[in-house]
Structure 1
Amino acid sequence: MAVVLGSYTMPLLGISIFIATLSYISYKLLSSYLHKWVEMKPIPGVPGTYPFIGNALQFKTNAGDFFRQIEDYTHTFFDAPLLKIWIGPIPFVILFHAETVEPILTNSVHMDKAYVYNFLHPWLGTGLLTSTGHKWRQRRKMLTPTFHFSILTDFLEVMNEQAEILVEKLKSQAGKGPFNCFSYITLCALDIISETAMGKKIYAQSNSDSEYVKSVYKMSDIISRRQRTPWFWPDFVYRYFGNRWEHDKTLKVLHTFTYKVICERADLISSNASDSDTDQGKRKRWAFLDMILKTTDEEGNRMSDHDIQEEVDTFMFRGHDTTAAAMNWALHLLGSHPEVLSKVQQELQEVFGTSDRPVNTEDLKKLKYLGCVIKEALRLFPSVPFFARSICEDCHINGFKVPKGAQAIVITYALHRDPRYFPEPEEFRPERFLLENSVGRPPYAYIPFSAGLRNCIGQRFALMEETVVLSYILRNFNVEACQKREELRPVGELILRPEKGIWIKLEKRVSQTSSN
């Protein structure tokens, strides 16, 4: 009997250790959950919160309905000092006032992205958007020089060329009634970021059925759906019961495309081809990828192939989708306000006359009212309608204690509608951003590109692109919106999009000549 019992000693010991470990982990998780529940109890919350599942069952499954639900919460609790919701066992504080947003975004302790950003890791890795701590600081320091204004101006040529192509595409719709302009603008933005970020022409405006283009949108939808359903947050549950097969299939398309481009550019640089002249005798264009391939840290180490792919995938996603959405919203607003459109076109007339010449750096400085239009459009329809951070140490927000491990969601869409700083907030008034009208406005009342240390590294690139593309469209066409504001139904996923596109009418401007 002793021999028989001895043969079971090791399996029994292993089982005992497993049970003990599982019990300890369960105890720690339960203790942490109960601690947060007690600590955050004084904070006003959404009714109908249940233990362990929180408010998850109350959330709408449709992305558009879910966003309107969050928007309704911000209206209902606008006068509350703070608001909390629970998504599964994780508490979130909802921030949409300048005085509650500022202490989080200015504190270098709370720089980690929230848990839900983990679902971006398979696609974007831990690049600039999703990384934390030392890696983020090192990567930001390495990449910041590539966004210097003098380098960005080199990309004006690409922006002008693609904007010209867009105008030619739009001419086929001019005078023919309502059409959805969303894909036209988006494909133009994709062509711009592809050539500037990767040095690769993908001809998206000529090939709207591109597999890569479709995969970008499909992946965004897949990730957003998972973020809204906490029962699919555990990887093993998602793998066996979720949409993992479609996720992995889409991911393969995205990574195969960017990996191929990176290899091509690396070969060009190693053979010094990137420094040679083109067939036309002009200096070959540089892309962000070229600079990243040559960038080194303080110790002289270059980024690995994996590191480079993380950043290229991040640039491709964040560098076109956000800008495209912003330009589409701006076109709707201009088409809905002919008096604003007239002012913009008058400014364009003063700068360009009847010429169809490209936009240069001096023009960008002169187009001040168009700049105000872009800022006001981003106020009403911020491309990133909300973003989230982890609370990395116990802190106080507006008098309430928020424990370490909670998450903070900044609802940019609601923050930009604070009537204290934007009277009649639903009105489209570009004059709000004239210098004299911006005096005294808190810096954290308007943050379309986030703020603080983790602000968007590409914001100057985005504003430059929007100015160039919109100036081309408005120099060539009059715009009329075909939807009322209430018909737009914004969908707040990773990017703020209209549920059924942006429908406009275009008429060719008779004052435009073919050349000057």
Structure 2
Amino acid sequence: MNDNAPLMYMWVGPSPTVWLLQTETFEVFFNSSKHITKSNFYDFFNPWFRNGLLISTGDKWRTRRRLITPTFHFKILSDFLHEFNDQSEVMVRKLDQMAGTGEEFDVFPFITLCALDIICGTAMGKSLNAQDNADSDYVRAIHRMTDLIQVRQKSPWYWSDLIFKSFGPGREFEETLRILHDFTRSVIEERSEQFQKQLESQSQDGFDIVEDPDKPVAIGGRKRLAFLDMLLYASVGETKLTNADIQEEVDVLMFAGHDTTASAATWAIFLIGSHPEVQRKVHEEMDRVMSDPDQKPTIDDLREMKYLECCIKESLRLYPSVPVFARTLSEDCVIGGHDVPKGVTAAISAHNVHRNPKHWPDAERFDPERFFPENSVGRHPYAYIPFSAGLRNCVGQKFALAEEKVLLSSIFRRFRVETTQQRDDLMPMGDVVLRPKNGVRVKLHRRE
């Protein structure tokens, strides 16, 4: 294949697909207001997410996007920061039991359970305690569901609902789905009932339901705001949301808000731990920004973690959490001088884009300094797309970056990470989310 070819045609099962290979061809994908429908590979998420933000399209997607975007405003992240810090402290206490023993272990499950506790607390205001109870029905179900979806995506013979349910893991899928939906539904119904009582009480007292429309208060006597609280407030505005509507978005966030973040943080731990000079600079920054190892980072502290942010970005360049983006073209168009018909799937591999030598010299080398401001000048805007780009970019990218900073700073403030694998040993699995097949095995040493 010509390295400068603008695109490549291929069939993925019964679906004609065109892979966009050069950043110059991405305009139709990222900037078009017409080609916003996700490819049919996302249809396998429909039973779980129904028609939430991740897979909805058209007017519904536009309405939900306008509604949800303000809930991830950086000011609101200060409310979520408490949950980031509290759950990170739980994780660090568990990691401390492994430190100094010389024992090698897989750090990925620790990060994953912490991220799941964080998203459950911030999305629903519900304590899941996954880090202390990894064998709960919901924890097992959310991990198993992604595996089942990936099995189906990779197996064209399971694309038929009849075959999947009759001869495949369809029954397990339905039971897993029931556990997930029952849990989020019960939390939403409980919070909705509390919300209605709060509305009635405020109405009787003659107060508006929201004193500050940009920052509603937590519902049901809770001290901290949750994503669910903000959706319930939005449900009494111009955009009416039912409990079922709210559940669509909460279920999306429970998946997208923990799996991708956990993977990104784990890859960063491996890469920083594999490069002693980089780790030394991270430690120096931690010591400068947060001299007290028991101090919990504030929003201002996170802003000062500039080198750590570069490490996270470089990790996402090499191991983007979502390795492929795909859309269904809504009309005939011309891409890179080639006619591409309506209905074709257009796909972009972030994994390949991030290794394009035109934009990334010595692309396989881990070098956080690529993201220093002076080294980023003139870089093509689509050369780096870990959160997608354009109209359908990731609405929670600021949330994710802040969470990863808290997770990683909690670890590197206290420990020196020694990796025991080479990059070739990790075998990234390019499924819905890019995970290390063999985990990330490390040894931890307490810092003096």
| Distance (Å, rounded) in 2 between the aligned partners of 1:116 and 1:154 | 35
What code does the residue aligned with 1:122 have? P
1:428 aligns with 2:366: yes
- Structure 1 residue 244, shift from structure 2 partner: 1.2
- Structure 1 residue 406, shift from structure 2 partner: 0.3
Pick from 16, 20, 28: which aligns with 1:103? 28
Q: Structure 1: give runs of 5+ residues left out of the alignment.
A: 1-75, 511-516
Larger radius of gyration: 1
Deviations 1:49-83 (A, max 9, x none): xxxxxxxxxxxxxxxxxxxxxxxxxxx56443311
Residue in structure 1 matched with residue 249 of structure 2 by the alignment: 311
Pick from 345, 350, 354: which aligns with 1:412? 350
| Distance (Å, rounded) in 2 between the aligned partners of 1:359 and 1:199 | 21
Residue in structure 2 matched with residue 454 of structure 1 by the alignment: 392
| Distance (Å, rounded) in 1 between the aligned partners of 2:168 and 2:92 | 42
- Structure 1 residue 297, shift from structure 2 partner: 7.9
What code does the residue aligned with 2:46 have? H
Deviations 1:93-144 (A, max 9, x none): 1124211223211111110000111110000111000000000001111111
Q: How does 1:51-62 map to 2 (within 5 A)?
A: none
1:131 aligns with 2:56: yes
| Distance (Å, rounded) in 2 between the aligned partners of 1:260 and 1:81 | 49
1:262 aligns with 2:188: yes
Residue in structure 2 matched with residue 495 of structure 1 by the alignment: 433
Residue in structure 2 matched with residue 365 of structure 1 by the alignment: 303
Q: 1:231 touches 1:237 (CA, 8 Å); kept in 2?
A: yes
Residue in structure 2 matched with residue 330 of structure 1 by the alignment: 268
| Distance (Å, rounded) in 1 between the aligned partners of 2:245 and 2:219 | 26
Other structure's SS at 2:110 match: helix
- Structure 1 residue 192, shift from structure 2 partner: 0.5
Other structure's SS at 1:110 match: coil
Other structure's SS at 2:224 match: coil
Deviations 1:10-41 (A, max 9, x none): xxxxxxxxxxxxxxxxxxxxxxxxxxxxxxxx
| Distance (Å, rounded) in 2 between the aligned partners of 1:422 and 1:297 | 48
Other structure's SS at 1:271 match: helix
| Distance (Å, rounded) in 2 between the aligned partners of 1:301 and 1:106 | 26
| Distance (Å, rounded) in 1 between the aligned partners of 2:140 and 2:19 | 32
Pick from 275, 281, 288: which aligns with 2:227? 288
- Structure 1 residue 145, shift from structure 2 partner: 1.4
Structure 1 residues 187, 276: CA separation in 2 closer, same or farther (over 3 Å shift)?
Answer: closer
Q: 1:344 touches 1:369 (CA, 8 Å); kept in 2?
A: yes
| Distance (Å, rounded) in 2 between the aligned partners of 1:105 and 1:254 | 32
Pick from 46, 50, 74: which aligns with 1:121? 46
Q: How does 1:2-81 map to 2 (within 5 A)?
A: 78-81=3-6
Residue in structure 1 matched with residue 139 of structure 2 by the alignment: 213
Q: Normalization by structure 1: what TM-score?
A: 0.81
What code does the residue aligned with 1:115 have? N
| Distance (Å, rounded) in 1 between the aligned partners of 2:306 and 2:239 | 42
- Structure 1 residue 237, shift from structure 2 partner: 3.0
Other structure's SS at 2:413 match: helix
- Structure 1 residue 268, shift from structure 2 partner: 2.2
Other structure's SS at 2:442 match: strand
| Distance (Å, rounded) in 1 between the aligned partners of 2:218 and 2:403 | 25
What code does the residue aligned with 1:490 have? P
| Distance (Å, rounded) in 2 between the aligned partners of 1:156 and 1:353 | 19
- Structure 1 residue 89, shift from structure 2 partner: 2.8
Other structure's SS at 1:142 match: helix
- Structure 1 residue 398, shift from structure 2 partner: 1.0
- Structure 1 residue 84, shift from structure 2 partner: 1.5
Other structure's SS at 2:75 match: helix
Q: Normalization by structure 2: what TM-score?
A: 0.93
Pick from 93, 96, 117: which aligns with 1:168? 93
Other structure's SS at 1:450 match: coil
- Structure 1 residue 301, shift from structure 2 partner: 4.2
Q: 1:142 touches 1:297 (CA, 8 Å); kept in 2?
A: no
Residue in structure 2 matched with residue 8 of structure 1 by the alignment: none
Residue in structure 1 matched with residue 75 of structure 2 by the alignment: 150
- Structure 1 residue 277, shift from structure 2 partner: 8.9
1:441 aligns with 2:379: yes
| Distance (Å, rounded) in 1 between the aligned partners of 2:325 and 2:154 | 14
| Distance (Å, rounded) in 1 between the aligned partners of 2:163 and 2:218 | 50
Deviations 1:436-486 (A, max 9, x none): 000111111101011000000100000000001100100000001111000
Residue in structure 2 matched with residue 179 of structure 1 by the alignment: 105
Pick from 118, 125, 136: which aligns with 1:199? 125
What code does the residue aligned with 1:418 have? N
What code does the residue aligned with 1:292 have? L
- Structure 1 residue 91, shift from structure 2 partner: 0.5
- Structure 1 residue 226, shift from structure 2 partner: 1.4
What code does the residue aligned with 1:164 have? E
Deviations 1:331-356 (A, max 9, x none): 00011001000001101111112442
- Structure 1 residue 87, shift from structure 2 partner: 2.1
Structure 1 residues 339, 138: CA separation in 2 closer, same or farther (over 3 Å shift)?
Answer: same
Q: Return structure 1 stretches of 4+ with deviation > 4 angstroms.
A: 273-278
Deviations 1:241-274 (A, max 9, x none): 3321111111111111111111121122223397
- Structure 1 residue 193, shift from structure 2 partner: 0.5
Q: 1:96 touches 1:412 (CA, 8 Å); kept in 2?
A: no
Other structure's SS at 1:108 match: coil
Other structure's SS at 2:315 match: helix
- Structure 1 residue 238, shift from structure 2 partner: 2.4
Q: 2:428 touches 2:436 (CA, 8 Å); kept in 1?
A: yes
| Distance (Å, rounded) in 1 between the aligned partners of 2:270 and 2:14 | 40
- Structure 1 residue 234, shift from structure 2 partner: 2.6
Give the total of aligned pairs.
430
Larger displacement relative to structure 2 (95-104 or 376-385): 95-104
Q: 1:180 touches 1:502 (CA, 8 Å); kept in 2?
A: yes
- Percent same amino acid at aligned positions? 51
Residue in structure 2 matched with residue 375 of structure 1 by the alignment: 313
Residue in structure 2 matched with residue 321 of structure 1 by the alignment: 259
